[in-house]
Structure formats: C-alpha cells, structure tokens
Homo-oligomer: A and B are copies of this chain.
C-alpha cells in the first residue's frame, strides 16, 4: 500500500509499505478522508526527534477493513471515526482519569509518533472497542473527521477552563484549535467570548463560531484590550491555543484572581515558559494553570459525533482547501507555510 511519510527530518515522501495486521483487540481502517494538522508539520521539522519513513497523519475517518478476534463492537465495512489519541485504557494513567497520558507523558499519542499514522491506504488502530466510534448516518465523513483532534482538543480547552455560566473568556489564537475553543466556550455557557487574532479570515471565522469580540494583537497589547472590554477585571478564563511563551504570559495577565488558564497549545520550543510573577499574584491569586492533550476514546468521539449529528457546530467552515491523496505533498507544504490563508486542508483518499 502507499503511505505519506516523514522520510527523515525535513523530508516527506510517498513510499510503499506492507498493510498492517491487527492484534486481537485492534482494527485496520481504510481512510476515506483526512485532515492535515500543524503538528504533522512540527513532526517533520523534528519536534519529536528523527523518524525513518514514519507514516504521517492522525486525523482520519474511514471504513473498517479488518478486526482482531476479540473486537466486539466493530466489523468490516463499518464507517468509523478514530481519535487522534488512542489510549491504553487499562494503563495506570487512564485509571487515574488521564488516558492521554497512558504509560508515559503524552503516551496516548501513538499515530505518527510511536507508530505509523493514518495517511496511507490502510492504518492500524489499537483497541478498536475502546478507541473507535461508528459515524451516524446524518454525519458526513468530512464533518466526522474533525472529531479526531480539532473538536476534541478545542472543546477540551473550554471544558477545562472552568467557565461559569455567563462568565468571560479570552481565547488566544484562532487557528483551528482556537476556533473550536471559541465555539467550545459558547457551548460551555460563556457570557462573553473574546477572541485574539490578527488574520482577517480567522477573525471572521472566530465571529462565526461565536466570538463576541475579536481583539487584534497588532492593534495594541491584547491584554490591555481585554481589560478594557472587562472593565479592568480580567476574564474568568483564558485559553491558550497557540503554544507560545508570549500568549501563555498574556493568558495569565488577562485572567482575574480566582480564574483559570487552560492550555491546549503545543509548546514546541524554548527551555521555559514564563509566569509573570506579579500578575500571577505572587503565587497566591488562585489563578489555576491547567493543560490537556486531545481527549480520545470511543465515548469521547461518540459524544462529539452527536454534536455534529444535532448540528451544534459546523467544523467544515474551517476547510479552506481540498486535495486528493496524490496531491498530499502539496497540501502538506501549504499547511507548513500557512500559504493562501489556509486553515485546514481536507484530503480525499478515494
């Protein structure tokens, strides 16, 4: 079969591979559509170290091709969604309420990290019963594909932010995760959502997904703008959806005493993140800093699919570009350069 791989740091390509075989609890899925993620780009640039011919991709849906002997809920031909994170559900961390940290930090992240990813004619899913969900009839493959990472991560940013009903929320950066955090804040009862962004098409998407205000950080200090919008109080909750030192600092600065900073950005560089000591209340202002890695699992995916089935959110507005699988290198390069105002490129596998 063909697979789109990271050949080595900085180099991608299409290579021929053997079709994977399922273990007793696993499934083999034939993808129909996939979405390229900025973290695929980080990986190719070496963020998690070198890899040799590692298949890329962790956002894909498709058709079950084969299942292991102990799989109970799926059979070949089923149309399914798969989380980007596929936890080991009996691991200590999962038992402790942190499945994404199975066995080690970020250990639930397997696709295109510790094993081949989804951008191939077939891909392997560990623990199918635990990590796969049937796509309901009213939900398209395109929509469903967003449950793998963007919906799950973005919404988690809001779910973890301890947003009071009618509370105020700032969401820093309106990439696809930030946009879904903006939408997630609305779905968690936020009374006022302030999006921080500078690119025009993303500002517009932010408004469509429910931002009441959009603050452009190129028009002045975003924290000052947020303070103006909140009568100097600061927000109840700030969501970091970029993964940069500056935005994390701004989150802390923009949050009121007793509030919560919820991080879903991937912090790829630098030895330290910096907590501004005074705005952090010298360690006593009861501002919590919480983090998350994309929640996975069949239950999570099933609930997100229900949100799509009931038209709670339309993530396909974020799909700015579409490509066939044989054009995936072009798609990847555009995503890497964020050219043509790309937000998310959809890949068709058939």
Contacts and interface: CB of A to CB of B under 8 A. Distances in A.
Interface of A: 23-25, 70, 89-90, 92-101, 104-107, 127, 129-131, 155, 159, 164-168, 184, 187-189, 191-192, 212, 240, 243, 248, 257-258, 263-277, 280-293, 297-300, 302-307, 309-310, 312
Contacts of A97: 97, 258
A275 B273 contact: yes
Given A286-B291, A291-B288, A166 B276 contact: no
A283 B95 contact: no
Contacts of A277: 267, 269-273
B283 A92 contact: no
A268 to B, nearest CB: 7
A273 B271 contact: no
A212 B310 contact: yes
Contacts of A89: 89-90, 94-95, 130
Contacts of A184: 165, 189
B165 A104 contact: no
Contacts of A312: 191
Contacts of A263: 283-284
Given A95-B130, A166-B307, A266-B282, 16 more contacts: A89-B94, A92-B298, A97-B97, A101-B257, A155-B165, A165-B184, A165-B187, A165-B304, A165-B307, A187-B187, A212-B310, A243-B282, A271-B277, A272-B276, A286-B290, A288-B291
A210 B163 CA distance: 21
A306 B266 contact: no
Contacts of A267: 277, 280, 282-283
Nearest to A147: B166
A257 B165 contact: no
A212 B263 CA distance: 32
A106 B243 CA distance: 29
Nearest to A153: B284
A265 B283 contact: yes
Nearest to A155: B165
A93 B273 contact: no
A287 B291 contact: yes
